[in-house]
Amino acid sequence: MTALDLSSPVAVVGTGTMGQGIAQVALVAGHPVRLYDAAPGLARKAADAIGSRLDRLVEKERLTADERDAARARLTPVDDLSGLAGCSLVVEAVVERLDVKQELFRALEDVVADDCLLATNTSSLSVTAIGGALRVPGRFVGLHFFNPAPLLPLVEVVSGFATDFGAATRAYETARAWGKTPVACADTPGFIVNRVARPFYAEAFAVYEAQAADPATVDAVLRESGGFRMGAFELTDLIGQDVNESVTHSVWQAFFQDVRFRPSLAQRRLVESGRLGRKTGHGWYDHREGAERPAPHTAEPAEPPAYVVAEGGLGPAAELLDLIREAGIEVREAEEDEGTRLALPSGGQLVLADGQLSAEFADVVYFDLALDYRRATRIALSHAGHTSAETVAQATGLFQALGKKVSVIGDVPGMIVARTVARIIDLAVETVAQGVATEEDVDTAMRLGVNYPLGPFEWSRRLGRGWAGALLDEMHEVDPCGRYAPSLALYRYACATDQREDTP
């Protein structure tokens, strides 16, 4: 099954930001495009807006004037659904209400031919449920573009329960012909991106709700240690708190209120207060003109230890040993062959986040996971109230000697980056195990859809396939609410590796 021929007309129903963006993508690819909106006059306004964006593409030398003129000639606003007769593909981008979408597609079936591909751009509703209202549900598919559609490359091609393989393949190949990077997935709440990404927001909010760190500090650690493009608080301010919470709530409800997807009470209060982020001038941060951005907590300078004792190779943090030596600090080797600890001259220990609490030990400071310890510019530390001040100072001074800013947060299991990455890996592994998508497509979706520095399976290969499950096991023991219980899929994922390694 091949992509739609460029001579085939494409229709977009709904002319808001997403509808206009999708129409522009199809138009620039070379299709005749028809625009329809139920509100009188909006289709013509949308056509004018798209024309203005084509002008800007010419100014930026991304289109020639002739290409722009040809594209404008192919764009037709229509005032009635009957104007979409003869189209080979209709993409819907209307309000996120199941009844509205079902009614629209039932009406479209009376207009278009039975071989016309029908697609929804829904981000939170069931493709199966929308298509269930159709006379010919096999030609119905999800085409989930990301905003802004002309710029972001990812398109999730979602097959509902009744979607024909040929229809899904044609939609996939058409998206690719439009210059997009499609990923195929089965219909599941949140599809790939909005399902696997939930912990990125949820764990940041959980750390905040535990009073372990303020939004600016959490965001700084996610960016400067985790390598994420934006922190969870600033990203949800950009998305809109109401929009982000709505998606979270939809996924949570669709999974029968699974505790792993539970919404944040702190975010609910933010929405109730009308602080929706950039669009209202205030969210987690104050975005009003002249407002000062709060600084992350950064520890005062401290003296580094004269030496550390490496009790093992530090596992995922092994490169720290080279950095410590390069900083002129002596690294002594302990007799133990394995471990993720550094003994300090104070008698205390510096331990890589493992899901446990400092409060469980006599004198322990935890340090967070980093995407790349050499390039990281900030490291988070956590400790209990009874941890000795000398141990905290030596741990702080050690990382400062490596050129890192240090943020000391409260004693929470898994800290910030480690718990976030572990939960993302868990949901990704479960998503693949349930046949929703392939490992490759999950990694592609998370890198392109939400700009993660690594896909979940890339993280897992770097950290070790058993790392996420081990950390979540410890977190579940500390907080047995079910939120951190590793999935059966993650357990099998790690065990399969162990068995292969044990085979002679």
Q: Which residues form the catalytic set?
A: 123, 144, 156, 194
Using CB atoms within 10 Å of the CB of residue 301, give its burial: 0 to 12 exposed, 13 to 18 middle, 19+ buried. exposed
Question: Quick one: tokens of 271?
Answer: 């929405």
State which amino acid sits at residue 175: A
φ and ψ of 372, to 5 deg = -150, 105
C-beta separation of 28 from 150 below 8 A: yes
C-beta separation of 346 from 307 below 8 A: no
DSSP 8-state symbol, 256: T
Residue where the block lists tokens 């329960």: 161
Of residues 130, 174, 121, 173, the one with CA closest to residue 148: 121
250-283: b or e for each residue (b if 16 or more CB lie within 10 Å)? Answer: bbbebbeeeebbbbbeebeebbeeebbbeebebb
Length of the chain (residues) = 504
Q: Of all helices (H) and strands (E), which one includes residue 197? A: none
Cis omega (within 30 of 0) for bond into 148:
yes
